[in-house]
Amino acid sequence: MPGCSRPALPSLGCLANAVALSPSLRSAVTAGPGAGGSTRSPGSTVGPSAGRSSPEAAALGLGSGQSATRVQAGMDGAPPPASPAGLSAYVAVSQLLGLTLLATTGAWLGRYRGGVAWHSPLQFNVHPLCMVLGMVFLQGDALLVYRVFRHEAKRSTKALHALLHGLALLIALIGIVAVFESHRTKSIPNMYSLHSWCGMAAFVLYLLQWLLGCGFFLLPRAPFSLRSRYKPQHVFFGIALFALSIAACLLGITEMLLFNIRDSYSHFVPEGVLANTLGVLLVAFGLVVAYVLTRDDWKRPPLAEEMALSMDFKTLTEGESPGGGGQ
């Protein structure tokens, strides 16, 4: 090959040049273990006699079962691919909307509801602030992690995803404790309204979703096939619970306005207009996040080493070749 000597084991630089020059070799190497329908047992070595995907692979001494990580290591100096067109703009808009709705919530509670305090009659106001911050803003940002961090290590991305969801749950729990404590102090009954039913359902299901996600993906001990079957449900319920959380917040805003300014609400008083604006911001934030999540071409692409690790994990947990057998 021009520009490289041909020892028995080529250098990583030569290997990278070879892959860059030959599309057929690139597809052969990145196919990983089990390519072409071949099978092998865990720990077996694929030698020159195991079948080659192309003459170039034979010339470089690469079997069809070798991982793509060597190729990736030879290309580490290359800059990562740019984000898809429009993705950065939509993510920026979502963050602008999110910060605006947090500021609007604070302005409403501070100007018209007396502010926020724990051991005082203002303890109730901790509830709407925490629910908007945790169940909407942080939950939405946690969902966007896989779209924003497209080229970082999957393990780090998973950890950040789980951390943001866990922080959202913790803040929401503080908000739930605040409203129950406030109701107990004022002798107000609990869990009788549609808002409380939807809100508690969203929190409990969100906690269950987080626990299952950590068990299946962050600390994976389930078989590969079981994780693959659960993943679509995890993705669907993640978006559904985000929508349910926003719906519960909208119900809570309406309920709070009817309790406090029932007689003047219909006269477009400033508090009512500000609270309605908060509701519109919640809907807008949810729509932008949902749009980013549902664009197939904006999904995080799997890195070559992740594909190799996933196939190796399947081999270890199920005792079969990732390339063999249907799924």
The model's pLDDT over 167-184, given as tens digits with 9 standing for 90+, comes to: 999 999 999 999 999 999
Within 8 A by CB and 6+ apart from 240, the residues are none
Would residue 321 count as lying in a domain? no
The residue range of the domain holding 180 is 87-308
Judge if 127 and 150 occupy the same domain. yes
Would residue 29 count as lying in a domain? yes
Judge if 60 and 96 occupy the same domain. no
The pLDDT value given to residue 4: 46
Domain end residue (candidates: 78, 105, 131): 78
For 139-158, write each residue's pLDDT tens digit. Answer: 999 999 999 998 888 889 99
Judge if 125 and 43 occupy the same domain. no
Would residue 181 count as lying in a domain? yes
Two structure tokens written together for 312: 């190796």
Would residue 320 count as lying in a domain? no
Burial class (CB in 10 A: 0-12, 13-18, 19+), 62: buried
Q: Count of domains in the chain?
A: 2
Say which range, 116-125, 210-219, 222-231, 281-290, has the weakest mean pLDDT.
222-231
CATH number at residue 133: 1.20.120.1770
Would residue 326 count as lying in a domain? no
Judge if 151 and 69 occupy the same domain. no
Judge if 189 and 276 occupy the same domain. yes
The H-assigned helical ranges of the chain are 12-21, 23-30, 55-60, 69-74, 87-112, 126-131, 139-148, 154-186, 194-213, 224-260, 270-294, 304-318
Q: Model's pTM, two decimal places?
A: 0.71
Two structure tokens written together for 321: 């070749």
Judge if 120 and 169 occupy the same domain. yes
For 13-40, write each residue's pLDDT tens digit. Answer: 443 444 344 444 344 444 444 444 444 4
Judge if 92 and 214 occupy the same domain. yes
Bigger pLDDT: 319 or 294? Answer: 294
Two structure tokens written together for 152: 């970082």
CA 124 – CA 122 distance, rounded (Å)? 5
Judge if 96 and 241 occupy the same domain. yes
Judge whether 8 and 66 are in contact, CB under 8 Å: no
Domain end residue (candidates: 27, 61, 78): 78
Judge if 173 and 196 occupy the same domain. yes
| Arithmetic mean of pLDDT over the chain | 78
Total residue count of the chain as it appears in this document? 327
Query: Where do the DSSP E strands lie in 194-287?
Result: none
Two structure tokens written together for 110: 């501070």
Judge if 108 and 210 occupy the same domain. yes
Judge if 258 and 118 occupy the same domain. yes
Judge if 187 and 292 occupy the same domain. yes
Assess whether pLDDT exceeds 80 at residue 233. Answer: yes
Would residue 323 count as lying in a domain? no
Assess whether pLDDT exceeds 70 at residue 9. Answer: no
The pLDDT value given to residue 219: 82
Bigger pLDDT: 276 or 84? Answer: 276
Would residue 131 count as lying in a domain? yes
Would residue 199 count as lying in a domain? yes
